[in-house]
């Protein structure tokens, strides 16, 4: 794999993570537990989908095949999606959504912070803007982790189960493959070991404050980054991509 291909794949990973998680959050709109949470979820979704546009537009440029962010988002099939499995997991109840969000935000923020220093100027620029947003996201989801973890017995039990269920999807966030290696030596990609360290500390701190147990280390799911997804993603795409696929010659 050459640098060019690796860069394209790397951008898809960044863009697809933001896109799929943003898409999941929009499912909540109109159905959130409180009005303030309608506003909060919408803000996070707006940020993430905005970031996805940036990453995917750049991916399209790098690919050089004339595909823009919409073509990449709305007319690519499941085998070519590169998001981690964590973000495609179903919304479940609000605790499931918060746990998924927090486990991702705790990774997203240090990742973007590292990419702020990328040798690729486009990446550095997108990361600079996104990083600020990811900081707000992490703060918000951490606050909710603590509120629900240290709230009522019911909320504690529910959230602990959410964390336990989602935990096996966190390993994939930090796995390094040839794409990362190809780009790390030139300073384009982030060093995931450092990101993992930041994640570990952050998550340990929040779980403790939230009076939650850190699940035992164990077997981890993986495959999303290489295009091997869970069954969930097919349904997300079927819904998200419906219009451009049903009317291929239309502009919207």
Partner 1 sequence: MAACEPTRTYLRCVSANRPLLSFVSVIRSDFANARPNTDLMTHNIDVSLINCIIFRGEPSAVIPRIAGPSFMTGKTLMHTQPAHTEVEPRCSAEALAEREQAFQAKIDADIKIEPKDWMPQAYRQSLVRQISQHAHSEIVGMLPEGNWLTRAPSLRRKLILLAKVQDEAGHGLYLYSAAETLGASREALIEALHAGQAKYSSIFNYPTLTWADVGAIGWLVDGAALINQIPLCRCSYGPYARAMRRICKEESFHQRQGYEIMLTLCRGTAAQKRMAQDALNRWWWPSLMMFGPPDAESSHTQQSMRWKIKRHTNDALRQKFIDQSVSQADYLGLTPPDPELKWNEQTGHYDFGTIDWSEFWRVLKGEGPCNRERIEARRRAYDEGRWVREAALVFGAKQTRRAPGTD
Mark out the alpha helices in the chain (DSSP H runs): 3-26, 35-63, 69-74, 85-88, 94-115, 121-149, 153-166, 178-184, 192-209, 232-240, 242-246
Please identify, using beta-carbon distances, which residue of 53 and 225 lies nearer to partner 1: 53
Please identify, using beta-carbon distances, which residue of 201 and 247 lies nearer to partner 1: 247
Cα–Cα distances (Å) from 233 to 7, 192, 240, 247, in that order, read: 23, 25, 10, 22
Please identify, using beta-carbon distances, which residue of 40 and 171 lies nearer to partner 1: 40
CB of 185 vs partner 1, minimal distance in Å: 26
Question: 90-121: b or e for each residue (b if 16 or more CB lie within 10 Å)?
Answer: eebebbbbbbbbbbbbbbbbbbbbbbbebebe
Cβ contacts of 243 within 8 Å, gap of 6 or more: 74, 250, 252
CB of 55 vs partner 1, minimal distance in Å: 8
Cβ–Cβ under 8 Å, residues 105 and 189 = no
Question: In the complex, which residues of this chain contact partner 1 (CB under 8 A)?
Answer: 19, 23, 26-27, 29-40, 42-43, 45-46, 49-54, 56-58, 69-70, 73-74, 93-95, 125-126, 129-130, 136, 139-140, 143, 146-148, 150-152, 154-155, 158, 239-240, 242-244, 247, 249-252
CB of 58 vs partner 1, minimal distance in Å: 6
Please identify, using beta-carbon distances, which residue of 6 and 145 lies nearer to partner 1: 145
Please identify, using beta-carbon distances, which residue of 46 and 198 lies nearer to partner 1: 46
CB of 183 vs partner 1, minimal distance in Å: 20
CB of 143 vs partner 1, minimal distance in Å: 8
């Amino acid at each position: 794999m050459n640098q060019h291909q690796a860069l394209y794949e790397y951008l898809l990973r960044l863009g697809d993570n933001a896109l799929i998680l943003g898409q999941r959050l929009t499912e909540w709109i109109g159905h959130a537990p409180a009005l303030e949470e309608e506003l909060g979820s919408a803000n996070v979704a707006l940020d993430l989908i905005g970031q996805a546009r940036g990453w995917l537009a750049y991916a399209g440029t790098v690919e050089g095949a004339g595909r823009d962010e919409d073509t990449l988002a709305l007319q690519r099939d499941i085998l070519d999606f590169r998001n981690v499995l964590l973000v495609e997991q179903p919304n479940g109840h609000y605790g499931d959504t918060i746990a998924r969000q927090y486990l991702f935000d705790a990774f997203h923020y240090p990742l973007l912070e590292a990419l702020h220093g990328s040798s690729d100027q486009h990446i550095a620029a997108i990361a600079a803007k996104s990083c600020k947003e990811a900081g707000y996201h992490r703060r918000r989801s951490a606050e909710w982790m603590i509120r629900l973890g240290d709230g009522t017995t019911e909320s504690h039990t529910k959230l602990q189960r959410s964390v336990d269920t989602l935990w096996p999807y966190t390993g994939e966030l930090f796995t390094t493959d040839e794409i990362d290696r190809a780009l790390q030596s030139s300073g384009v990609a982030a060093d995931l070991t450092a990101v993992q360290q930041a994640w570990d500390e952050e998550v340990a701190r929040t779980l403790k404050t939230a009076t939650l147990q850190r699940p035992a280390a164990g077997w981890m799911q993986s495959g999303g980054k290489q295009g091997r997804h869970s069954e969930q993603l097919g349904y997300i795409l079927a819904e998200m991509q419906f219009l451009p696929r049903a009317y291929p010659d239309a502009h919207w």
